[in-house]
Structures are given as structure tokens and as C-alpha cells.
Structure 1
């Protein structure tokens, strides 16, 4: 087993990996950006290294800086968690090529093969795994989309080769939309994955999202050994983003479950895959199905993609099987091999995972732009697990994903799991940061969800927004606190210092000492860091960041995100409703439009720029 593992991630998944390492007697190293200097994953690690500024591209996505931190810390392995570089085959190859470092995950070759969706479809088709009717080679011309539609009908899904989680996927409902949607999918693919290649699939009208957790290694005979740990149903989604996951699926018969599990094992074995991964499928739901009659073995299902990493919802499988998937990842990467075979896997009870996102469900799930956890008291009791990296008093970091925690609930059956989830969600006390806990409380009593007949389109097409607003009003968390907490009684003083990029925490006991005034410099000689100016406030030179001058009108960012494209230039004339730029936030493209007509006087952003809520993007006159 390894001595030291660097976790190339942040937040709850970094803490979750660190806990597994601690139980194996392995020390851990955290990496953090300037925005995360006080984050929970930094507190949880044995060592911590600053790898850059808040912008992810300059810190958590900087593979060179992360490898340098691993070498400086004498780590002998890197675990990527999920997100950021977790599915980046080039980064995996960099780690593999670095003497003394081991990559905790599938090989970079397997990641390349299965990470490109058209290549993965070919692998699965060769292994007799059903695939959705579509292309097995990239398309780059709108005529290809039209031809596909003529043969297979509409709607069509255009998908980025490197995509996942809805990123880089666009739906073409009719031929007239083909050109615009093709360009949009290619643009997202380039922005997210540095790969503008796309492929086509028939878009299923009533799909369920069912995925199979697998763990694999190579046996002593040189042949792949693949174990599946059952399926998870991730059909409750909003705009292709999972919200609640559960297992086993409430919709599958045992016979269909066996067919899907066997297909996952075949496909993974054919790719010579090792370590943990998830094979995702779309299953055609029958809209008229009796909830008491699960889908039979004849039900069509199709391969969707392989996630070559651990999943957010791996906790559901752990609750059902009692198997620590992260420990299995570490053992396989260390050369110790799988500790179980298929006959040793049994599924017990029912489990659900609720993503606790800092979003306002009543405002179209808009991510919070600020906040502090004035109250943070997660639930407990039998069958309740909370994965987080937070503690009361923490400031919300909004530079990255909005998920702040995960609530995992287990019950002897689905009814008990739902009842226990209702209780746990009611116990979850959070104030100072808006979350989607009220939305989850609504869903555990939603008739369609309780019946288990929902599809991936249910939230987007069928749930009344008024119901969500009522839930937010009834159960919503308090607004963010604006006053600093009173620490005047404290006599211990904590300091954080960095030496050559490495973080150290120092505590000094000061008996009968007066409180430190935030504006003063302490006796050690280090002054407190200045706070960032509020959006629209004056900066050091006296200029307001929201001022546009000359009587112009600013078009500003309504949320934090990344500029994907700028559609106007200085001197252009625009009308009300025209798109001036495209902003990515929370894995979705958002058109930024002009509220009124005018002439573009100033363009203040370019493709690839990160922006905060309130930042001026374009000025009209």
C-alpha cells in the first residue's frame, strides 16, 4: 500500500478520499487554490500545497503544478476524485510517466479509448452491448445531421466526443435547428474538453438513466477480472444534471437488471479496463406502466457512456453493498488487486443520495453567489450518512461547483428509505446559505417520484414551478448573514502561513490577551488579508467596477461563469433580445442578451474569460 497519496481535488470528495486513506494508514496531501485556503479538505489533510489562484484553469486544472506538489510532498500516488482532471487522459499519462508516482484510476490508454464517445460506442458494439442508433464516427457538417434525421427521425442528440453530464449536448427537434445546435455543441466541446468533435444519436423520448458500478483489475492469468456492484437509478435530473440518485432502480425487474449488469461487465472487459468506473445506460420507460409491474427483460436499453473515475453517487452503492469503493481503488492501484469476486457481492436494502447544492430551486436553480454557514447542523441517526467538507462559520466558495454536501440515506426497503429521507432532510439545519434542501423535501413526497415511474425529463417538463416556490417559502434556509461573528472571547490565535507554497497551521495561546482588531497588524508582523471589494464597489483607484461612463448602459453577468463566445464587436448595432455573448455556468450554456437596442461601445470580455456576478460584459450606447 502507498505511504502518501495526493488528492487532486477539493471539497467533499477530497475529504472522502482522505478518510479512506486514513483508515488504510496512508497519509494525505491536499492541493488548494487561493479561494480555498480555508477549505475543509485542507483542514483534513496531513499536508497542503497552494497550486495557484482561484481560477480553476490556473490551479486545480494545472496538471504540472499538481505533479510538482506531489513530488515536493514525497507522495507516491495521485487520486483525482471526480471532476477537474479526473477524466483527463493526458494528465493520467503525465502521472504515469513521472518516476515515483502512481495514478489511482484506469490507465490513460483505457481513458482515451472510453473517454471518446465514438470510440467507446465501437468498443461496446463489438462486445455485443446495445448502443443507441447513431454515428460511430464524428460529424462536422450540417448535411450529416440532416441525413441522419431523414433516416432515424427527429429529435436528434448532438453530443461532444469528450462530453458528459449534459455538457456539449444539444437537441435538434427539426431540420431548421440543425446548424445552430451543431455549432453550439462543437463550441461547448472545444471550451470544456479542447475537442470540438461531435457525434449523433437518436434522442430517446422516455428514457431512464441507469448506471452500473464496476471495479476491475487484471488477474494472475492476464485476463480482465470485472465485478459489478449493482445499478443506480439517476433518472431524477434537471437539464441533464443528476439531483437525486438511488439504488436499486425502482423500475427494473430482476431479469432486466441481470441483463444490464452482464452487458456492463462485457463492455468493461473488452476495453481491458482496470480500477473503478461506471457504465451508464438509457432504459426506455413505458409511460403507461403500472408502478407495481417493473420493466421486463425485453425492455430496450442502450449504452450511453463510461465514466472512467469514481462517481458523485458512488455512496449509494457503498450503502447497498458495504464495500468501500475508494479503498478498492487504492488497493488495485497499489498492485494488491481486487479483494472480492462477483459471488461475494450482495445488495441489501435501498439507498438514496441527495445532492445538497447551494442553489435556489425557486429561482430556476440559480447558484448562490455568496454566503456563510451561520448554522450548519447535518442530520444523523440510523442509516444516515453525510459527506461534506464544511463546518459552521465557513464562507461559501462560489468559484467552483455549487454542491456543498451529499446526504445518503439507507433503509431496509424503498418505503423505509423514503421515510428516513424525509426525517433526515427535515433535520438538516443550514442557515446563511440557500440550498435545494426544500426541493428535496418536496420530491420525497412527490407522487411520480414515489411511484418510481419518472424519466430524465420529468423535472424539466412536468413539475410545476409553483410547487417548488412553495417548498422554498415553507422550508427555505435563512438569508446570508452580513455581520461578522463575535470572537471577542477567544484567547487562542490561529495563523496560517505558506513557505515555498506549502501550508502550515500555527496556533498560539494568548492568556488574558485582548481580541485582535481586524484592522491591526499582530505581534508576529503579518497583517490580515484584505477582503475582495464587493461587486460594484470602489476599487483602490476609486473607480467602480460597475461604472461604464459616458451615459452608456452595461450588460452584466447574472452569475459567475466562463465566457464561451462573444457575438458582438465595437460598433455593432444590436436590438433588444440579441445575444451579445454566451456564458457557461453550472455546466450549462446561457445566452446573455441585450435588454434594449443600441450600439456596442465597449466589449470587456473575451472567450475563455472567467467572470463574477455583476461584472460588466458589454457596454451599449
Structure 2
């Protein structure tokens, strides 16, 4: 076993890996950027090393800086978590070449083979795993996309080779959109994964996203840990994951799981991984009708790393996947057979993102003014934040994960409702109210949602619903009023309070116990929270109301594309630049017609909300 592991990541996944190391008696090393000096993973680790500025490309994505930190700390292994360098075959290869340092993950060769989507499709096809019609070679030109669309029909998905979580994926619905979407997909692939290569797939209209957790060791053992259903997504990014899938029969579940196990077994893959599939749903089926072996399913991709939602499989099987990652990398053999793997009950993971669901899931920022997460039976929380932490825009919006486990799905949903209602997080808008809305949503509760469901949900209903469950849609004014029930000497009184409500916490049912004051009146105190300075209250794309001709940034972020220059004519609705915030690309558009008189930014510049980007002459 290793003596010391460096975790090349941040946030909750870094802490998750460090906790596994601690239980194995292994010391931990954190790396951090300037923005994360006070981060939760730094607090948790045994030692920590600064590796650069806030910009990920100059810190968490800097190969040499991470390896130098490992050597300086005398670490004998590196665990990448997920995201950042977790699926970077070049980095894995560099670590493998460092004497005395072990890469905790699949080999660089396996990552290159399966991490790049076109190669993975070829391998799976040869192993007899169904694949979605698409290209096996990278696509370079808009003409090639046009030809594919003519042959297979629109819509067409353009997907980055190194992409994941919906990043680097663009959907083309007609030949008019090909050039812009191809450019955007390549740009995102280069910005997020250092790889602008893209490929094409036929875009399925009513799919479910079902994935299978795999563990494999260096002794030829390959095990699957059942499937997870990740169909509830916004902008192709998962929001809620659960297992087992509420839509599959046991026969189809086993067929998909064995296909994943077979495909991985053909490649000599080791360590943890996830094989993702799309399953064609029947839009006419009812909640009591499940998809059987006559349903079509297709290989989507292999994630050559730990997944955000690995927690669901851990709760169902009782197997610590992260510990087994470390043990396998140390040369140990899996000590359980496939027949030993049993799924117990039902588990659901809720991603707690710093986003406003009422504003089309826009990333939000702020300072955590109160943090009191739920607990008790069947409730797990993976996080790295505490009260007083700042939630910025430099990295992904995920700040924690609530995982609920119960005997069956009905009980799991009821337990989830209780846990989410108890989750008291203030100072920054989060997806907690959205999750509570989903537990009041018939389509989700009945398990009939597909990956397209949230795209079609009524925006007004979403905004009203999330406001009802915690005021996520907008900040309350300082002089807004609430009525609470207080108990004084065994009697209940209604007390009117001024101040904003707590986002995500209990509202209508909140109670305060007070002691009688000396003058006989009821004295009650209730804390109020400071308004979250979101710095991100726009939709995607971002429409800018340039009343004085200035096009300003309406969120913190980095310019990843500049479309116009001084002297260019701009029509209302034209995209003037692309702004990346919390790993999401936002197109900034002008709301009026004019000519670019001044340009204040360049590609790669970091901006904060309110910074001027361009000035238009609208005369």
C-alpha cells in the first residue's frame, strides 16, 4: 500500500479521495490554486502545495506543476479525482514515467484507447456492444457534418473527443447551424480538454441515460456494480442520478450491465470506469410499464475515471469504489466475485450546484452565510464547504452532493423530501429548491423522464416552483416580511419577521421556540442572511442591455472567443463574444444595432460582472 497520495483535484471529490486514503492509513497531499488557498480540500489534507493562479490552465491543468508538487511532497501516488486531468492520457503517461510515483487510474494506453470517443466506439463495436450511428474518425469540416446530416438526418450531435458531462457537445438541428456549432464544439474541446477534435453521432430524441459502474484489476478480474440512471439533465449535464433505473426490467438491466462488462473485458482495462449507454424510451409507456429486452440501447462512451455519481453504486452495493481504485493501483486483487455483487434498495444523488434553476440554471456566486446540512438514517453528504466560504466562478458550480438510500424508490423519495427540506444553506443560490420541485413533479416521481425532459419543462413553472421551495428565482428585498410560528410557555404565536428567506431551507413550516421576556411579551429572535452577490443573473445566451452603448460582462468568467472588432457592424441579437463561467459557455449578445467603436478585451482575459467588453456607436 502507498504511504502518501497526492490528490490532483479540489472540492468535494478531493476530500472524498482523502477520506478513503485516511481509512487506509495513507497520508494525503492537496494541491491548490491562488483562489483555493482556504479551500475545504486544503483544510482536510495532511499537507498542501500551491500550484499557480486561479485560472485552471495555469494550476490544476498544469502537468508539470502537479508532478513537481508530488515530488516535493515525496508522494508515491497521484489520484486525479474527476474532471481536470482525470482523463488526460498525456498526463497519466507523464506520471507513469516518474520513478516512484504511481498513477491511480487506468493506464495511459487504456485512457487513450477508450477516452477518445471515436476509438472507444470502434472497440465496443468489435466487442459486439451496440453503438449509435456515427463517425469513427474525427470530423474537420462543416461539409462533413452536412454530409452526415444528409445521410442520417437531423438532429446531429457534434461531440468533443475529450468531452464529458455535456461539455464540448453541440446539437445541430439544420444545415443552417452547422458552421457555428462545429466551431463552438471545437472551441470548448480545446478550452476544457486541450483537444479540439470532434466526432458525430445521430442525436436520439427520447433517450434515457443509463450507465454501468465497472471495477477491474491487474489480475484479469472485471466486475460491474449495477447501473445508474442519469436521465434528469439540463444542457446535457446530470442533475439527479439514481439506481437502479426506475425504467428497466431486470432482464434489460442485466443485458446492459453484461454488455458493459464484456466490452471493458476485451480491452485489458484496469481500475474504476463507467460505461455509458443511451436507451430508447417509449414516450407512450405508463409508470407501471418497464422497458424490456426489446428496447434498443446504444453505447455512448467510457469515462476512464471515477464518476461524480459513484456514490449511488457505493450505497447500493456497500463497496467503497475509491478505496478499490487505490488498492487496484497498489496491485491488489478484487476480493469479490460478480455473484457477490448485490443491489440493496434504492439510492438517489442530488447535485447541489451553485446555480439558480429559476434563471435557467445560471451559475451563481456568493459567500456561504449559513451551512447546516441534513443527516440521520439513509442520508450521506459529500462536500468540502463550510460557513464563511466564498463560492466563486473560477471552477465548476458543483459544491456538494446529497445522497439518499432507502429500501425502495418510494421510501427513498420520501426520505429525500425530508432531507432536502432540512438542508439549510444560505448566502448563495443553489439547486436545492429545484430538487424539492422535482420531488413534487409527477413525471420524475413516476420515473418517466428522459434526458430531454428538463429542456421542455415550462420555464415559468420552473421559476415559480423553485421560488416556492426556497426563493431560488430571485433575491428577497431587505424589507420583505415572513411569518413564523413561535412557542412561548407552551402557547403558539405568529411572529412577523423582516428580512429575506433562507434559500433551500424550511419556509412555511419553520418554527422558533422563544422564552417569555420580563415584560410578559414574547421575545423571539430569528437570523437573517445577507443577500448573495450572484454576479450571474442572466440566461444562456446572455443578452446585454447596453443602454449607454457599452456591452458589459454580466457574470465573472473568461473570454474564450471574441467575434467582433472595432469597425464591425453589429445587429441586435448578434453574438459578440463567448464567456466561460463555471465551465459553461455563455454567448454574449447585443440588444441593439450599431458599430463597434471600442473593444476592451482579448481572448483569454478574465473579467468580472460589470466589466465593459465593447462600446457600440448606435447613432
Q: Which TM-score band applies after superposition, normalised by the shorter structure?
A: 0.7 to 0.9
1:534 offset after TM fit, Å?
Answer: 13
Partner of 1:317: 313
Structure 1 residues 413 and 552: CA distance shift in structure 2, 3 A:
closer
Deviates more, 1:237-246 or 1:131-140: 131-140
Partner of 1:329: 325
Structure 1 residues 354 and 534: CA distance shift in structure 2, 3 A:
closer
Q: What are the residue-to-residue correspondences of 1:333-344 with 2, within 5 Å?
A: 333-344=329-340
Q: What are the residue-to-residue correspondences of 1:294-309 with 2, within 5 Å?
A: 294-309=290-305
1:479 offset after TM fit, Å?
Answer: 5.9
Structure 1 residues 426 and 270: CA distance shift in structure 2, 3 A:
same
Deviations 1:556-598 (A, max 9, x none): 2222233221111122222222221122334433221122233
Specify which of 348, 364, 373 is matched with residue 368 of structure 1.
364
Structure 1 residues 159 and 534: CA distance shift in structure 2, 3 A:
closer
Partner of 1:592: 588
Please say if residues 428 and 534 of structure 2, whose CA atoms lie closer than 8 Å, have aligned partners that are also in contact.
no
Q: What are the residue-to-residue correspondences of 1:108-127 with 2, within 5 Å?
A: 108-127=108-127
Structure 2 residue 393 is the aligned partner of structure 1 residue 398: yes
Q: Aligned partners of 1:290, 1:552: CA distance in 2, in Å? A: 54
Specify which of 355, 372, 375 is matched with residue 377 of structure 1.
372
Partner of 2:344: 348
Q: Aligned partners of 1:142, 1:479: CA distance in 2, in Å? A: 44
Please say if residues 157 and 203 of structure 1, whose CA atoms lie closer than 8 Å, have aligned partners that are also in contact.
yes
SS at structure 2 position matched to 1:475: coil
Please say if residues 436 and 469 of structure 2, whose CA atoms lie closer than 8 Å, have aligned partners that are also in contact.
no
Partner of 1:160: 160
1:245 offset after TM fit, Å?
Answer: 0.3
Q: Normalising by structure 2, what TM-score? A: 0.86
Tell me how many residue pairs correspond in the alignment: 551
Deviates more, 1:317-326 or 1:332-341: 332-341
Please say if residues 431 and 479 of structure 1, whose CA atoms lie closer than 8 Å, have aligned partners that are also in contact.
no
Q: Aligned partners of 1:11, 1:479: CA distance in 2, in Å? A: 26
Q: Aligned partners of 1:25, 1:295: CA distance in 2, in Å? A: 45
Deviates more, 1:566-575 or 1:286-295: 566-575
Structure 2 residue 269 is the aligned partner of structure 1 residue 273: yes
Structure 2 residue 59 is the aligned partner of structure 1 residue 95: no
1:467 offset after TM fit, Å?
Answer: 3.7
Q: Aligned partners of 1:82, 1:25: CA distance in 2, in Å? A: 22
Q: Normalising by structure 1, what TM-score? A: 0.86
Deviations 1:308-338 (A, max 9, x none): 1000000000000000000000000011122
1:394 offset after TM fit, Å?
Answer: 2.1
Please say if residues 437 and 466 of structure 2, whose CA atoms lie closer than 8 Å, have aligned partners that are also in contact.
yes
1:474 offset after TM fit, Å?
Answer: 4.0
Please say if residues 166 and 587 of structure 1, whose CA atoms lie closer than 8 Å, have aligned partners that are also in contact.
no
Q: RMSD of the TM alignment (CA)?
A: 2.0
Alignment gaps of 5+ in structure 1? 483-532, 536-550
Specify which of 603, 610, 613 is matched with residue 609 of structure 2.
613
Please say if residues 432 and 481 of structure 1, whose CA atoms lie closer than 8 Å, have aligned partners that are also in contact.
no
Please say if residues 393 and 557 of structure 2, whose CA atoms lie closer than 8 Å, have aligned partners that are also in contact.
no
SS at structure 2 position matched to 1:67: helix
Please say if residues 2 and 26 of structure 1, whose CA atoms lie closer than 8 Å, have aligned partners that are also in contact.
yes
Partner of 1:388: 383
Partner of 1:176: 176
Deviations 1:390-426 (A, max 9, x none): 1222222332111111000001000000000000000
Q: Aligned partners of 2:392, 2:172: CA distance in 1, in Å? A: 36
Please say if residues 372 and 480 of structure 1, whose CA atoms lie closer than 8 Å, have aligned partners that are also in contact.
no
Partner of 2:597: 601
Q: What are the residue-to-residue correspondences of 1:20-35 with 2, within 5 Å?
A: 20-35=20-35
Q: Aligned partners of 1:430, 1:9: CA distance in 2, in Å? A: 24
Partner of 1:16: 16
